[in-house]
Amino acid sequence: MTFGRPLFLLLLLLIPVVAAARRVLRLRGGILYSHVPLADGLPRGRARWFWVSTALEVLAPVLLVVALAHPQKGESERRVISEGLDIMLAIDISGSMRAEDFRPGNRLDAAKSVAHEFIEARIDDRIGLVVFAADSYTQCPLTTDHPVLLELLGDVTFGEVKDGTAIGMALANSLARLKDVPAPSKLVILLTDGRNNAGLVDPLTAASMAKTMGVRVYTIGVGSEGEAPFPVDDPFLGRTHRMIPADIDDETLAAIADSTGGLTFRATDPAALATIFRKIDEMEERPVETIEHVSRRDVGAWALWPALAFLGLEGILRTTWLRRIP
């Protein structure tokens, strides 16, 4: 309970003074007897109820003062606003991502699966998708329309870009999508199974750009240790497999992450890749702003109407049943 005009409560200090002054005036207006026993014969049955009139006389102004002070009842409402992050996913679609060491599918299938789960979990974030091989292009710009993003993610496949691995171009393209976009936090998750061998932008140059923009970059190298089975379609023998060696530039991926305040990871199987994305999800907590709105309702009528009722009752009693003589 609060008061809109609390200074009016100071009037409560005057009520005892006024009540005492009125009592003195009444005593002066009474009948004086030279000898108290002379009044013994007068009827005094109602005199014992005079305190009721006095109580009403004091209580009514107290309630009036409270009403004048505008008592208010507050009703608070907490509203939580979660402002999401801006995240660009950069996924390698070069030919080596066909390697089938991430069964039941290949490396790209595993990457799309964990990215799908990651997107579904980040409901407040704007997320975009860049894919790259020898060149890089934007599959989906930053958006909160995650169903559309997931549909475009599902359409990602091989052969849309000339084969190669342009890590620097992929990072630069992701940064271009994050530039001039207000957000509490921006990050790039770059996933590849190779080393930079194409494109016009050096990976470390792109990392320097990310650092300047305040964008964290998480790098993920995917591929089993040693060799991995790679599918080969032969017109006569059908599909066969040959073993290809892992060729992930761990040093460059680590340098990119370290220079931007991110982390680098290595996934050798689908479970490890899923764990990495969950770890990134946990580290990148959503900033939450809490707004508390308090609406106040004037409840002075609760004091005003009883005060008026007490004043009326006190006046009726004083002029009838509790009337004083003279």
Predicted pLDDT at 324: 55
Calculate mean pLDDT across residues 264-293.
84
Cα separation, 38 vs 45, whole angstroms: 17
- In which band, very low, low, confident or very high, does the pLDDT at 212 lie, cut at 50, 70 and 90? very high
282 pLDDT above the threshold of 70: yes
* Least confident among 67-76, 137-146, 199-208: 67-76
Predicted pLDDT at 184: 77
Predicted pLDDT at 51: 55
* Least confident among 2-16, 23-37, 57-71, 163-177: 23-37
185 versus 153: the higher-pLDDT residue is 153
Calculate mean pLDDT across residues 59-84.
65
Instruction: List the structure tokens of 154.
Output: 């599902």
Q: 215-222 and 186-192: which strand pairing?
A: parallel
- In which band, very low, low, confident or very high, does the pLDDT at 42 lie, cut at 50, 70 and 90? very low
50 versus 212: the higher-pLDDT residue is 212
Model pTM above 0.95: no
Domain ranges of the chain: 2-76+296-319, 84-286
Q: Based on the number of CB atoms within 10 Å of its own CB, is 106 exposed (0-12), middle (13-18) or buried (19 or more)?
A: buried
Cα separation, 267 vs 225, whole angstroms: 10
- DSSP label at residue 221: E
- In which band, very low, low, confident or very high, does the pLDDT at 64 lie, cut at 50, 70 and 90? confident
CATH of domain 84-286: 3.40.50.410
* Least confident among 53-62, 113-122, 255-264, 271-280: 53-62
Radius of gyration of the chain, Cα coordinates, nearest whole angstrom: 41
Predicted pLDDT at 209: 97
53 pLDDT above the threshold of 50: yes
Residues listed for the chain: 326
233 pLDDT above the threshold of 50: yes
Residue 212 sits at the vertex; the CA angle it makes with 211 and 213, to the nearest 5 degrees, is 90
pLDDT in tens, 117-137: 999 999 889 999 999 999 999
Predicted pLDDT at 35: 54
